[in-house]
């Protein structure tokens, strides 16, 4: 249970005698809390059956994809997970609860006694130097049982036999899938918690056993986020137990619901940030937006997942290579999982060249795990900047629109010096160019240009925290009441079309911690001073920074941000090193000038930044700014 969701007993007792419920303030932890379980030190790469085949998947199709990954050299480039999505199951055997595989489409899974096993299948993949992934649901039923009712591959039998999800069988299934069958990766969906309401038409028509929804897609307030988190945490614990070698990936797939933006990193290797991608430009925008401003929540071992790639279909097919390259570039910039979902047995060279762009794969797979920061933001064009482990930058200039757009790239977008030469190397064409200060581009409709950058750092003797989001763990972002993020592109719902009054903001996350902007997307500003670099967060927050590089000091200019909705709180900023208080400001108020805070980090590995103030449970948030927050040599 998170501190912030928990009213301390004492606070509750105070509330009994006074009308004001005091909110618990976070405290320094002294140890690095970002979990290290699982094998996804870099974003998982591979292939997934869903966008290519939906439930009409079979063994030949999957093995064909696996063979192509090897033959086309994609496996060597990192695409090693071969993930079987929905459609593989026949039923849950009632005598012992064991899951039975549909051997009609996976013939190698047949055993003489009908027990069925994927061991032969995973052995073959492992023999090819690949890894194997499987799909399940955290509830009793899976998504195809709600959304692919025409499918020939739906679970069969009684209502109980058709309960193929993990609920009630977590350890049994996880042990079967990992210890017995030898899988390395699991995607855990959540339709079972959302779509099988007792008494609903779906449940009545199909004779399912209903489950009172714990996820209400249209309402974060009616979603039981703590319950959903607890269900996924139970899966995480079973995975840990079944995989003493730590070689597993846990892909959470609850489509950005239940406030997973906040807890996904503590539970899984990756978590979906939105609903399913479709092969449409606006769907790609929607899924991209759902992850693009969550950089501080991702890092080595835990990744935002805007969904599998749709390169090769619809707006991203061979007639739309500009769009296909943009899709791939954006996913790489965001350190997203790269999962091809195309019938690779017949992939044209033009698409293989996109998935196989080694320079962009290296951007995605950079070990520092710094998801790109948005250095220039608008609904028309964006400039994304990613800092690589060796300190150099990669920049992407993204035209979101169907018209040409002019973009000026400034040295300051890159946090590079404006009076020294900057070299750009195009990661698609490989051509190089040089500029000083500022340069311009004409982006074609939907085009993204992406460059590796060499130049002189603005901050030669250190690094801004906003350059190293992968080294930051947001323990507590101060969000008390989850709010839907209104900044995500609202596409026309591909399933409902315009048969509703509108496409609404639906993913909680508004107000989360941000690099170089406030939690609500404003310029960082304290008193009258604004900051290009810094961390924007709400009050009563705790951020951890991993100081593996051994920086000697921390400096920032801190205060209550000029955009704060609540103005009358005094905020204390404190810096801890491995649990020891290193520096603290006096209480600072709205309107106060920025206050310098410096801390001697000598030898400290885990730096913690706390901003705390008195608060009641239901008041509006206080926005605070760690201006120009930086680590210095
Ligand atoms: C959900 C998931 C998809 C896919 C399907 C399978 O919609 O989000 O990625 O796994 O279920 O039915």
pLDDT digits (tens, 9 = 90+) for 572-614: 999 999 999 999 999 999 999 999 999 999 999 999 999 999 9
DSSP 620: P
Q: How far apart are CA 132 and CA 136, in angstroms?
A: 14
Tens digit of each residue's pLDDT (9 = 90 or more) over 529-572? 999 999 999 999 999 999 999 999 999 999 999 999 999 999 99
pLDDT of residue 13: 40
- Judge whether residue 173 has pLDDT over 50: yes
Instruction: Point out the ligand 1 atom lying closest to the alpha carbon of residue 142.
Output: 12
Q: Sign (positive/negative) of CA torsion 311, 312, 315, 319?
A: positive
Is 412 in a helix, a strand, or coil?
helix
Tens digit of each residue's pLDDT (9 = 90 or more) over 7-18? 444 443 434 444
Closest CA to ligand 1's atom 11: 143
pLDDT of residue 369: 98
Cα-Cα-Cα-Cα torsion 264, 268, 270, 276, nearest 10 degrees, comes to -70
Closest CA to ligand 1's atom 9: 276
Are the C-beta atoms of 473 and 33 separated by less than 8 Å?
A: yes
Tens digit of each residue's pLDDT (9 = 90 or more) over 342-387? 999 999 999 999 999 999 999 999 999 999 999 999 999 999 999 9
- Judge whether residue 35 has pLDDT over 90: no
**Residues recognised as catalytic:** 189, 276
Are the C-beta atoms of 269 and 40 separated by less than 8 Å?
A: yes
Q: Which of 355, 304, 302, 359 is nearest to 325 (CA)?
A: 355
Tokens of 312: 């090769």
Residue given tokens 């018209």 in the structure block: 403
**Given ligand 1 and candidates 53, 57, 84, 191, which is best to mutate, with the most ligand atoms within 8 Å of its CB?**
191
Closest CA to ligand 1's atom 3: 276
Closest CA to ligand 1's atom 4: 50
**Given ligand 1 and candidates 52, 253, 260, which is best to mutate, with the most ligand atoms within 8 Å of its CB?**
253
Ligand 1 pocket (Cβ < 6 Å) reads 50, 85-86, 135, 143-144, 189, 253, 255, 276
Q: How many CA atoms lie within 13 A of 579 on its CB side?
A: 5
Instruction: Point out the ligand 1 atom lying closest to the alpha carbon of residue 144.
Output: 12
pLDDT of residue 3: 41
pLDDT of residue 22: 78
């Amino acid at each position: 249970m998170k501190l912030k969701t928990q009213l301390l007993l004492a606070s509750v007792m105070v509330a009994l005698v006074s009308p004001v419920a005091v909110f618990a303030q976070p405290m320094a932890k002294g140890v690095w809390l970002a979990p290290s379980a699982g094998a996804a030190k870099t974003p998982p790469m591979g292939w997934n059956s869903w966008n290519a085949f939906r439930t009409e998947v079979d063994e030949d199709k999957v093995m064909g994809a696996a063979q192509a990954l090897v033959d086309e050299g994609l496996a060597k480039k990192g695409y090693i997970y071969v993930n079987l999505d929905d459609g593989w199951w026949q039923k849950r055997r009632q005598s012992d609860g064991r899951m039975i595989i549909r051997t009609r489409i996976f013939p190698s899974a047949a055993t003489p006694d009908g027990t069925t096993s994927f061991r032969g299948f995973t052995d073959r993949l492992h023999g090819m130097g690949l890894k194997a992934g499987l799909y399940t649901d955290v509830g009793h039923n899976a998504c195809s049982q709600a959304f692919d009712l025409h499918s020939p591959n739906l679970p069969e039998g009684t209502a109980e036999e058709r309960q193929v999800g993990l609920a009630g069988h977590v350890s049994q299934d996880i042990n079967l899938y990992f210890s017995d069958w030898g899988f390395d990766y699991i995607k855990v969906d959540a339709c079972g918690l959302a779509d099988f309401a007792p008494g609903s038409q779906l449940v009545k028509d199909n004779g399912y056993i209903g489950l009172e929804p714990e996820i209400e897609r249209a309402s974060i307030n009616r979603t039981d986020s703590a319950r959903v988190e607890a269900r996924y945490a139970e899966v995480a614990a079973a995975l840990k137990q079944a995989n003493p070698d730590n070689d597993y990936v846990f892909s959470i797939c609850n489509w950005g619901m239940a406030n997973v933006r906040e807890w996904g990193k503590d539970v899984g290797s990756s978590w979906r940030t939105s609903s399913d991608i479709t092969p449409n430009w606006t769907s790609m925008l929607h899924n991209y937006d759902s992850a693009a401003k969550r950089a501080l929540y991702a890092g080595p071992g835990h990744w935002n997942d805007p969904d599998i790639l749709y390169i090769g279909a619809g707006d991203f097919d061979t007639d739309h290579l500009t769009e296909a390259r943009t899709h791939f570039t954006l996913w790489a910039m965001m350190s997203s999982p790269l999962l091809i979902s195309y019938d690779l047995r017949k992939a044209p060279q033009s698409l293989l060249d996109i998935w196989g762009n080694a320079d962009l794969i290296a951007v995605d797979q950079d070990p520092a795990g710094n998801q790109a920061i948005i250095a220039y933001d608008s609904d028309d064009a964006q400039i994304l900047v990613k800092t690589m482990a060796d300190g150099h930058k990669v920049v992407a200039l993204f035209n979101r629109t169907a018209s040409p757009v002019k973009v000026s790239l400034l040295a300051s977008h890159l946090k590079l010096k404006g009076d020294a030469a900057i070299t750009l190397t195009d990661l698609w064409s490989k051509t190089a160019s040089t500029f000083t200060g500022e340069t311009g581009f004409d982006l074609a409709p939907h085009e993204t240009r992406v460059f590796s950058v060499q130049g002189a750092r603005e901050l030669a003797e250190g690094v801004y925290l906003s350059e190293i989001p992968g080294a930051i763990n947001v323990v507590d972002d101060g969000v008390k009441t989850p709010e839907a993020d209104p900044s995500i592109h609202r596409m026309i719902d591909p399933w409902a079309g315009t048969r509703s009054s509108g496409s609404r903001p639906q993913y909680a996350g508004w107000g989360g911690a941000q690099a170089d902007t406030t939690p609500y997307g404003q310029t960082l500003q304290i008193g009258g001073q604004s900051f290009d670099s810094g961390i924007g967060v709400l009050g009563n927050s705790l951020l951890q920074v991993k100081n593996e590089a051994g920086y000697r000091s921390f400096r920032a200019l801190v205060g209550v941000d000029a955009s704060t909705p609540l103005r009358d709180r005094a905020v204390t900023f404190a810096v801890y090193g491995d649990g020891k208080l290193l520096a603290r400001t006096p209480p600072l108020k709205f309107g106060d000038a920025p206050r310098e805070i410096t801390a001697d980090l000598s030898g400290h590995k885990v730096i913690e930044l706390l901003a705390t103030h008195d608060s009641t449970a239901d008041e509006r948030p206080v926005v605070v700014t760690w201006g120009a927050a930086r680590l210095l040599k």
